[in-house]
Structure 1
């Protein structure tokens, strides 16, 4: 939280109570990829007078300041999580088409592909995203037990 506070101050912003509770919700749910609405519902439990627009503005500010990442998994809903400190790339994701679970893959699976693109196409890669859509282990086990 102190690191985020410093980043906000360097950029001319304060850590308001609304921003702090939004950050707390993100920290408490680090392993999840919450939508703005999910975050709003959790923030509202702790700060009942907050509005959805305030949560949206806070998330956009944190995204603009590169404190959090925003990802869209093809369903039109933006989801947020903390940026991996020191990471060059976004995390890769595995998305279960049955239950909607999102699993992060922190390995940089495209390192070799990136080097080929840079060499063969003379294209400087700044970032990439990789998303697999499939069925998670839990859903596979449910399916097997229903057969």
Structure 2
């Protein structure tokens, strides 16, 4: 990971810790997916596919729970387009998707 991505990872980790949340390997994997592709707006199924490349048994409930936490803590934004929810880095991404 390059320096900029390391800095962003550190900021996200500080945000989670400041909110009393543990930094689990599964949360780190999810963060890394977004940092590897910062301009991609992921739907749930695509995110599940991506995190399972690193952790094959990453659970559906775990992903839902972590997405909700990341949205609630201002790390991710959730956008609904049609019948799908899309997620993107909120803390660092100025570019938004539009319906």
What TM-score, normalized to structure 1?
Answer: 0.57
Q: Which of 68, 88, 91 does residue 96 from structure 2 map onto?
A: 91
CA distance in 1, matches of 2:85, 2:68: 11
Q: 1:48 to 1:80 in 2, by over 3 A?
A: same
RMSD: 1.8
Structure 1: gaps of 5 or more residues: 94-130, 132-147
Q: Which has the higher contact order (CA 8 A, sep 6+)?
A: 2
Q: Which has the larger radius of gyration?
A: 1
* Residues 37 and 52 in structure 1, CA contact (< 8 A), matched pair in contact too: no
Q: Give the 4+ runs in structure 1 shifted more than 4 A.
A: none
Aligned residues: 91
Structure 2 length-normalised TM? 0.83
Q: Which runs of 5+ in 2 are unaligned?
A: 1-8
Q: 2-side partners of 1:50 and 1:36: how far apart? A: 13
